[in-house]
Each structure stands twice: as structure tokens, then as C-alpha cells.
Structure 1
Amino acid sequence: MKGPLFYSKILLFGEYGIIKDSRGLSIPYNFYKGALKIDDLDSDLKTKSNRELSSYVNHLESIHHKKDTPVKFDLESLKDDIGQGMYFDSSIPQGYGVGSSGALVATIYDKYALEKITILENLNQTKLQKLKKIFAEMEAFFHGKSSGLDPLNSYLSLPILIKSKNNIEPAGIPSQTKVGKGAVFLLDTGKVGQTAPMVNIFMENMKQEGFRKMLKDKFIKHTDASVDSFLKGDINALFSNVKSLSKIVLENFKPMIPKHFHSLWEKGIETNAYYLKLCGSGGGGYMLGFTEDIEKAKKTLKDYKVEVVYNF
């Protein structure tokens, strides 16, 4: 058995802000992917994944048996497949902010959900919100709390525009240009990040009036403007807003940026060679970079692993 492939995702804009109703934009990233498999291979990764799936079944059972559950599963088939050694064969790095658990959730839903909403249907707002709710409950096992957006992105394999908590839609993004010098890239911190502790820090900060005001008046303002300018293809406005966002994050989200990257972050703002922002919750994993000249950025960041994900 080999299931269909599901891809990683990148939240270009909206990290933390979407918790408080900012806009957001999430895109599939097809470089990393995963699928459910049953085979005769013997490896530690396979054994570990199979064990994790066994633990995950208990969480899915609790959703299945809930009185007002939004989804039921073919638990018998799932348990039988796990008993035969099924595992999630994935190249998506865990703890890197690119949706490893989201892809797994999408895969499980696709194969084992009963009366599932398929990607071939007319995905109106009601169906998208129902899928998001289902995925949030399914992914909560991995993070304690989930918006459901990562699995939704992986399941649909489409860019998703988050207009507000209760308003999401598939989005058309500008076509990539192979000759353009501008790019969005991933920068590897070399350290695995943990989502839950970062979210806890954010929620603690939200108890302070000054932090809430900064989030509303600065962070969300520039996040919303970045989304708009990206979708319109207004590169000048985009880089102006991303530079502002980069400064705001450095000043107010320092715990989410690994310490040895603080000076590198600042260097990008001072030289305009690139602007860094969080990729997901931060704390490690990937950081997201925006540059108007990718070759110049690569030279400046020559000691680091850079992966281009989108060209302007």
C-alpha cells in the first residue's frame, strides 16, 4: 500500500496574528511531502512513525465518539493497517514550521474519514470552515491547540487566504517568474522548534496591554498590508511592509528567534540585503526570508542553508 502524497506548507504571513484575527496567507510547498505506506522495509524511522500512529488512534477515537463530533473514522481499517506496520513516510522535517503534522492529519483524513469532504467538491465557505474545524481537532493531538490551517493547506494543496478566523478562501497568487531576482526563501536555524512553548509565551505576552496594542497597531497592520501587496504583485509596497514587520518581530518577539540569529536578523534590516520573519511559531526550525536580490542575499548568508521557495 502507498497512499497519495500530501505536501508541506509555508505560512507566508499571519504567524501569531491570525490568532487575533489578522489576515494570513499560506501556500503549499511541494519540495517536502509524505504518504502512508505499508511495506517490508525495516528502519527506526518506520518503527517510530508506526508507534506514533498507534498513540494517535486514541485521540481519533475520542473525536469519533464525541456526542457532537464533526467527523467519524473507519477506525477498524485504521487499526488493522497500523497492526500491519503502516507508517507515514515523510520528507517533511518535524519542528521546522512547514507543517509536518498538518500533512499527516490531511493524509489520515483522506484515507480514513467517513463521509469526507473531497477536494473535487464546490468548496464553499461552510465546507471550508467545517474542514478547518475537523482538522483543528485532529491536529490538537500534536500541538495542544491548532487552527486547522496547516492540514487544510496540505489537503487542498492550494494557497489559502485567511481573511479572518471565520473567513478563509482559496487564493490566486501571482505567478512565479524565473528571471526575477526577488525571492522568498527558507533559512535553516539548525535547531528544532517546539510550537507549544512559543504559543504559551505569546499568550502570556497578550496579558500585557502594551503588547496587545503593538500587535493591533503595528504587527497586524503590516501583516494585512503585506498580504494585500503580495496578492496584488506590488513589490515595492511588499518589501516596505516586510521590512517593518521584520523590525517589529525583532523588537517584540525575541524569545521566538534563536539568540545566535538576532544579529543576522538585524544585519538584514540595516543592509536591506534581506528581511527575516518567523516561519510558523519560531523558536527554531526555519525562518522565512524576503529579498529583492537573491544572489546578494545568498552571498551575505553564505554560511547558512538557504532554500528558495518563491521567485518574484
Structure 2
Amino acid sequence: MPNPLFYAKILLFGEYGIIENSQGLTLPYSFYKGTLKFSDLTSDFEKKSNQALIKYAQYLEGLDLPKGFEIDIPRLNKDISKGLFFDSNIPQGYGVGSSGALVAAIFERYAVKKHNPENISKEELKNLKSVFGMLENFFHGKSSGIDPLICYMNLPILIENKENVDRVAIPEEVYGKGAIFLIDSEMTGETGPMVQIFFEKLKNDGFRKTLKEEFIRYNNACIDAFLRKDMNPFFRNLKKLSLWAYEHFRPMIPEKIFNIWKKGLETNAYYLKLCGSGGGGYILGFAKDYEKAEKMLEGFHKEVIYRF
């Protein structure tokens, strides 16, 4: 049986907002992927990955996972001693779910009870999300469990609120003028410190108020319009969302992205938003006319993830 591949994920909408109960929309991204493999650990990459798995297995041993979601730790340890490693091209610190793919791969192979992603109920999805949060806490300090869930399900997921998630159909891609794309900030970001900054900001009543009354409203409106493929309200709310982030998420926006973020808002040629927690990694771009945006963003490495 071939090794299952676990793809990266893109959080299109919901960064930070989902902590405060906003909706979120996330999709698998097959350009990057990872799988568990065995080797004689001759390369540095394989050696490092194997050593990281030793530490991770020790962490898992200390977890009290709910019934039906336990991990076969002895089998995992045995395989690690035989040269198990995670072969992945998913960049770390880029907001595309490198640890989520690893957690999903470990769960898929070593969960005592097998779960079939194709016929998981909404209630089971909720339980899986919670278990994946426990499994991913090792990497982020506090995880929502969303990233591993996306990687495991390999389907677009609508985050309805803190508790509930469901599968969702996104509009079929058509090769039109518009595009959603990634911009490489050429620096890695660390989730932990960024999330810490956000929690510090939340202590300010004014920030909490504008987050709930503006950011979450624009964010949810974008998701609703995108799923209905209603592009006029989509871009109208997207501009408000991008401007809000430019004003309130400054520490999360990589320095070399500031100017192009502002330029997008001034020209309306494209709009930018964070992809995950920010601080580095990828930034998300949205343009009605991608060719025009591409010319304006010359010098930056871009990857198109969806056309419309």
C-alpha cells in the first residue's frame, strides 16, 4: 500500500478571528506535501526528522487522549528506531501547516481505531478537531486542531465557530482573470510569538471591540460572498478586511510587505491579508485582474492557488 500523502493547507479567512469565534475557511494545498517513510538516516534532513519524532513520541506518551482516539505509542517507537522520518517539502514557519501534516500522518498511521475521513459525522469531526489540538500543542503551545484536521480530511473545511466545523464545497475554479495567490515574504514566522502579541492586544478593550464589530464582520462577509461566488460584495469586504489588518495587525505584517500592502489598498489592483499567524512566511493576495497585479508585484515570488 502506498504511503498516504498529507497536503499543506491554506487558511483563506479566519486568522486570529477564529480565536474569538469568527468563521474560518481553509483548503488543502497540494503543491506542498509530506509522508512518513523509512530510511537508513544518512542525510541530515532524515536524521533531524527522526530525532524530532523521538521527542514527539515522548510528548504523546504523556497525553491522556479520549477513548477511540488513542495512539499506538509502542508501535510508533518501534518504527522510529527502524528509521522512520517525515519526508516533507512543506516549508516550516510559512503558515501552510507543516506541523499539521505531520500530526495528521502520525494519527492516520498509528491511531488504534481507524477513522475513515470519507464518512466522518459532524460530531466526530468536532471530536477529531479537539484531539488534533492536543496532538499539535507540542509544536505551537496552543493549537485549535484545525490545521491537522484539514490535512487529515484533505477537503475544504468551514469553521463555523470555536466548537463546530463542517465540510464545505467551494466554487469550482474557472480560468478567469481573477486569482487568489501567495506572496513569499522570504522570511519565516513563528506562530507562538505572533499569537502572544495578539493576546496582549486583546487585553485592550478598544482593540477587542473593533475586532468583534469590524474584523469579524468583514471576515464572515468575505466567506459568505466567496462561497456564493458573489464577487462584488466579496471584494468590497475584502478591502475593509485588508485595511483593518493594515491598521491593527502591523506587528504581524513582515516589513518588506508593508509598502505593497498599502499600494494594493491605494490602487485597488489587489488586496493582501495574512496567511495564518503572519510574522513571515506567505501573505495572501486577491486580485480581480491577476496580470495587472502581477506586474505591480514584480520582484516578489508568487504562487497562484485559485483562479476565478
Are 1:234 and 2:230 counterparts? yes
- Is the CA contact 1:2–1:38 (under 8 Å) kept in the aligned structure 2? no
Partner of 1:110: 108
Are 1:13 and 2:17 counterparts? no
Matched residues in 2 for 1:102 and 1:67: separation?
Answer: 18
Partner of 1:196: 192
TM-score (norm 2): 0.97
- How many pairs align? 308
Partner of 2:219: 223
Instruction: Find the residue that maps to 1:114 and give its secondary structure.
Output: coil
Aligned partner (choices 148, 151, 155) of residue 152 of structure 2: 155
Matched residues in 2 for 1:42 and 1:302: separation?
Answer: 40
Partner of 2:86: 88
Is there any run of 5+ residues in structure 2 with no aligned partner, and where?
none
Q: How does 1:142-291 map to 2 (within 5 A)?
A: 142-178=139-175, 180-291=176-287
The letter for the 2-side match of 1:50 is N
Instruction: Find the residue that maps to 1:72 and give its secondary structure.
Output: coil
- CA positional deviation for 1:3: 2.4
Instruction: Find the residue that maps to 1:287 and give its secondary structure.
Output: strand
Alpha-carbon RMSD across the aligned residues, in angstroms, is 1.3
Matched residues in 1 for 2:296 and 2:16: separation?
Answer: 28
Partner of 1:76: 74
Instruction: Find the residue that maps to 2:118 and give its secondary structure.
Output: coil
- CA positional deviation for 1:116: 3.3
Change beyond 3 A, Cα 1:67–1:23: closer
Instruction: Find the residue that maps to 2:283 and give its secondary structure.
Output: strand
> Could you report, residue by residue, the CA deviation over 1:210-231 in whole angstroms, capped at 9, with x for unpaired residues?
0001101110000000000000
Matched residues in 1 for 2:53 and 2:2: separation?
Answer: 16
Matched residues in 2 for 1:67 and 1:53: separation?
Answer: 18
Matched residues in 1 for 2:307 and 2:212: separation?
Answer: 30
> Could you report, residue by residue, the CA deviation over 1:275-298 in whole angstroms, capped at 9, with x for unpaired residues?
000000000000000001111111
Matched residues in 2 for 1:107 and 1:288: separation?
Answer: 26
- CA positional deviation for 1:148: 0.4
Is there any run of 5+ residues in structure 1 with no aligned partner, and where?
none
- Is the CA contact 2:68–2:113 (under 8 Å) kept in the aligned structure 1? no
The letter for the 2-side match of 1:183 is A
Instruction: Find the residue that maps to 2:160 and give its secondary structure.
Output: strand
Matched residues in 2 for 1:68 and 1:103: separation?
Answer: 21
Partner of 1:293: 289
Instruction: Find the residue that maps to 1:115 and give its secondary structure.
Output: coil
Are 1:32 and 2:32 counterparts? yes
- CA positional deviation for 1:260: 2.2
Partner of 1:55: 55
- Is the CA contact 2:185–2:256 (under 8 Å) kept in the aligned structure 1? no
Q: Percent identity?
A: 54
- Is the CA contact 2:36–2:84 (under 8 Å) kept in the aligned structure 1? yes
Matched residues in 2 for 1:251 and 1:114: separation?
Answer: 47
Matched residues in 1 for 2:101 and 2:174: separation?
Answer: 27
- Is the CA contact 1:183–1:310 (under 8 Å) kept in the aligned structure 2? yes
Matched residues in 2 for 1:216 and 1:102: separation?
Answer: 27
- Is the CA contact 1:2–1:37 (under 8 Å) kept in the aligned structure 2? no
- CA positional deviation for 1:68: 5.3
> Could you report, residue by residue, the CA deviation over 1:2-38 in whole angstroms, capped at 9, with x for unpaired residues?
6210000000000000000101100010111000000
- CA positional deviation for 1:261: 1.5
Partner of 1:127: 124
- Is the CA contact 1:274–1:291 (under 8 Å) kept in the aligned structure 2? yes
Matched residues in 2 for 1:202 and 1:302: separation?
Answer: 31
Q: How does 1:301-312 map to 2 (within 5 A)?
A: 301-312=297-308
- CA positional deviation for 1:208: 0.3
- CA positional deviation for 1:70: 6.4
- CA positional deviation for 1:69: 6.1
Matched residues in 1 for 2:180 and 2:68: separation?
Answer: 36
Matched residues in 1 for 2:13 and 2:65: separation?
Answer: 36
Matched residues in 2 for 1:56 and 1:209: separation?
Answer: 38
The letter for the 1-side match of 2:141 is G
- Detail structure 1 runs of 4+ shifted over 6 Å in the superposition: none
- Is the CA contact 1:71–1:114 (under 8 Å) kept in the aligned structure 2? yes
